[in-house]
Structure formats: C-alpha cells, structure tokens
Amino acid sequence: MLWRVIRNPIDALPHGVFTAPLVHVEALGRQRFYILEPSLIQEALVGNADALTKGPELRRTLGAVLGDGLLTADGAHWRWQRQSAAPIFRHERLLGFLPAMLAAAAETRDRWLTKPDGSVIDIGHEMMHTTFDIIVETMLSGRANIDAARAERAITDFLESTGWVFALSLLNAPSWMPYPGKGRTNAAARYLRGAIGRIAAAHRAAGSGSGDLVDLLLNAADPETGRTMTDEELTDNLLTFVAAGHETTALGLAWTFDLLSRNPGPAERALAEIEAVTGGGPLLPDHIAKLNYTRQVFQEGMRLYPPAPIIARAVTRPFTLGNRRVPQGSMVYVPIYALHRHTALWDRPNDFDPDRFAPERSKARHRYAYLPFGGGARICIGSAFAMMEGVAILATLLRAVKLTSLADHPPKPRMRLTLRPDKKLMMRVERRKG
C-alpha cells in the first residue's frame, strides 16, 4: 500500500470504490472508511462536520508551503480566515473580474496565433501560465513581482514529493527523515514563501487600499479575539490562493482540452454556441453566463478528472454513518475520482458526455454525487470564480484555434495532491478558418 501511495495514490484506492456505497478497510493500524454513497457523504461532511478535521497527515504534507492557512487550518482559526476572504468571492465582485479573465485568455490566444500553424504546445503549462496571470491580476491587483515560470516549477517540485511526505506521515516517521527529492521540495517551499511573503510585506507597507485579496486579509479581524493576521498568516493564505487556486483550474482546463480533442462532437457544439451567443463579434463579459453548454463541457471535464481527487478527514469523535459505527481515530475518505466514475451513479461513467450537466439531468442528481470543489462547509471558497474563469478561457481559445492531442490514448491520471497527467499533454495548435 505504501509504495502505491508514493507512486500514485489513485492506484492505492481499495477494491470496490467504483461500485460499492462504502468500503471499510484497516491499513497501517487504522480503520479507514471510503464513502461513495452521496447521502452518506452528505451525512459525514455536513451532519458530522464537527467530528472531522484535516488531520496531521495533510498538515505535514502541505504545511511547508501553505502553513496554517485556509486549506490546512481547522476550527475557529479556519472559520475566521474563511470569513476574512469571503467578500472577494461574492457574485457581484466576481463579475468585475471577468474582463481580467478574458484579457489573460486573449493574451494566451494571441501568443499561440503568432506561432506557425501546426505548432506544438504543452497545454498544461499554457493553462498554468494563463490562470497564474488571472490570479495575480484579480487577487493581487496585478502588482505581484513574481516570476510565473519559476513559481510553476517550484509548485511542481513541491507536489512531486508529496507522496513520500504523506507515506512517511502515515508511518509517524520523524520529519527530519530524508526522502527522494527532499532538497528540491525544501528549496521550492523557501522560494514560494519568500516570494509571497515579500508581496504581503509590500502591501502592508504601502497600505494601498486597493480592495484586493491582500487588503481584505490585512484588514480582517478575528471576531472572537479581535486580532489581525500576522505576516506569516497572510503569507499562508495568499499562497493557498495563488498556488492551489491557479493549479486546480489549470488542470481542469488542460484535461478538458484533451477530452475535446478526442470528442469532436462536443467541441463543435460548444463552438456553435459561442458563435451564436456572441453573434460572431467579440467575446464580452456579459456573454459568459449565457454559455451554458460550454459550462457543461468544463463540468464534465472535471467529472472525469477532478483536480482535487480525494477528500481526507481524521475522526475526532465517534459517530454513526448509515448502519456503520465510525470510531474516533479512524479516517474518512471521499475518493472524488471514484465517486465521479461510480457505476451506480453515472451511466457509461468513463465516457465524455457534457449533456450529463443539462439542467434537468443535474436537478435529478444528488448534489453530493458531483464534488469537483469538495462539499460541506469546507467547499472550495473559489468554486464560482473557477467556473467563471474556466468558461471564459475555454470560449476564448476554442473559437480561435483547434487543439489536437498528439497522444493516441489519454494519459494516465497521477495524483500529486492535485490530479495531473503522468505525461505532458502535448497538443497541436491550428488556426480556425473563417
């Protein structure tokens, strides 16, 4: 089991997660419950949320970079950090971000169009670049003096070693124990925390009042104690949004472009919708909400390849789940990758079919059958931002170019906290005619 966790945690999922409602195993001296029935997932994540924490394994795996920020914190410390960031993700605020999203997507499009027709790109890298630009512009008012290419390499270096860190934490091994890639991991953590820490310090010194994410966090106060964020806590949370926020959306888009390459019918239908909504004119912010099928395409891409493929929680008090007793000290998992391909929940679960997310079919589905952004109180705070961003980028690029995958078969998904392809997604770019 440990070797599978190190190589690819998706391969370590127990037998039955694609067909059974709940799988119970005991491994490494701990009971582990894998929940696949939507009503049981809701019961665990909502009804028993107070009995679940992120657990020491996740904090050890992510703590070197993300510290004790929104993704890793628990309890009151998590609640006040989430309250602090919430205003920037209100609907009316998100609408104001659409011009920046479209501008970043257009910059990527124009860069591609300057290349000779038929040029080859790494779509994963291209989407990382695009979503990084959007995060910097929308969350940091475009004033972050950070090298996007170096930040991407640092995030990759850090994620590559997470399997080792997680496996060692399962064994309660001391944190000083060496593992392959530890030097690169530590260097990546130092670079990312240093770069974001300097941005936080510069904002604090300037007192700009620009109303971006940094200002919101700087001015936030814990309602219970009145304290404000330290520079370290500010760095924790900015890194959570910059690293986790742009990485997940970029991966969702990269997988979706690969799926569209292999399924020309949905690609042509999305393109027809975009042309109908825009009337053949420029893609404007007001158009994004009207691109219903294009949104379904992105939703289906994230069903097959959920960027955050597993929810893991440690149990701090016993509770009953269905007819099973879940003891204190056990672990609860929602393997989203398996949930989204579960034979009891999805017809032809491995096929790419955006019509699954047509309004009537979506209404008929249990809300906890589809969890690309998690669920319960800890659902991703940026879910609406990510959906809006994904549709804007898809629409901008689809109407300008045709992307063709160079691989005969889809790459294998490989979990490194996020769900990355085991090989680069190389695609040929061709201008659309007319």
pLDDT digits (tens, 9 = 90+) for 162-177: 888 888 887 888 888 9
What percent of the chain has pLDDT above 70?
98
pLDDT score at 62:
86
pLDDT score at 144:
66
* Window from 32-41, 125-134, 174-183, 378-387 with minimum mean pLDDT: 174-183
pLDDT score at 1:
66
Q: What's the rounded mean pLDDT across residues 339-364?
A: 97
Q: What's the rounded mean pLDDT across residues 406-431?
A: 94
Q: What band does 200 get if pLDDT is binned at 50, 70 and 90?
A: confident
Q: What band does 415 get if pLDDT is binned at 50, 70 and 90?
A: very high
Domains and CATH numbers, the chain: 2-431 (1.10.630.10)
How many of the other CB atoms lie within 10 Å of CB of 409?
7
pLDDT tens-digit readout, 58-67: 888 888 888 9
Q: What's the rounded mean pLDDT across residues 353-360?
A: 98
Decide if 320 contacts 385 (C-beta within 8 A): no
pLDDT tens-digit readout, 259-308: 999 999 999 999 999 999 999 999 999 999 999 999 999 999 999 999 99
The pLDDT of residue 321 is above 70? yes
Strand partners, 121: 427
Rounded Cα distance between 98 and 104, Å, is 10
pLDDT tens-digit readout, 209-247: 677 888 888 888 888 888 888 889 999 999 898 888 889
What average pLDDT does the structure give for the chain? Answer: 92
The pLDDT of residue 125 is above 80? yes
3-state secondary structure the chain: CHHHHHHCHHHHCCCCCCCCCEEEEEECCEEEEEECCHHHHHHHHHHCHHHEECHHHHHHHHHHHHCCCCCCCCHHHHHHHHHHHHHHHCHHHHHCCHHHHHHHHHHHHHHHHCCCCCEEEEHHHHHHHHHHHHHHHHHCCCCCCCCHHHHHHHHHHHHHCHHHHHHHHHCCCCCCCCCCCHHHHHHHHHHHHHHHHHHHHHHHHHCCCCCCHHHHHHHCECCCCCCECCHHHHHHHHHHHHHHHHHHHHHHHHHHHHHHHHCHHHHHHHHHHHHHHHCCCCCCHHHHHHCHHHHHHHHHHHHHCCCCCCEEEEECCCEEECCEEECCCCEEEECHHHHCCCCCCCCCCCCCCHHHHCHHHHHCCCHHHCCCCCCHHHCCCCHHHHHHHHHHHHHHHHCCEEEEECCCCCCCEEEECEEEECCCCEEEEEECCC
pLDDT score at 434:
63
The pLDDT of residue 160 is above 90? no
* Window from 47-51, 338-342, 430-434 with minimum mean pLDDT: 430-434
pLDDT score at 21:
97
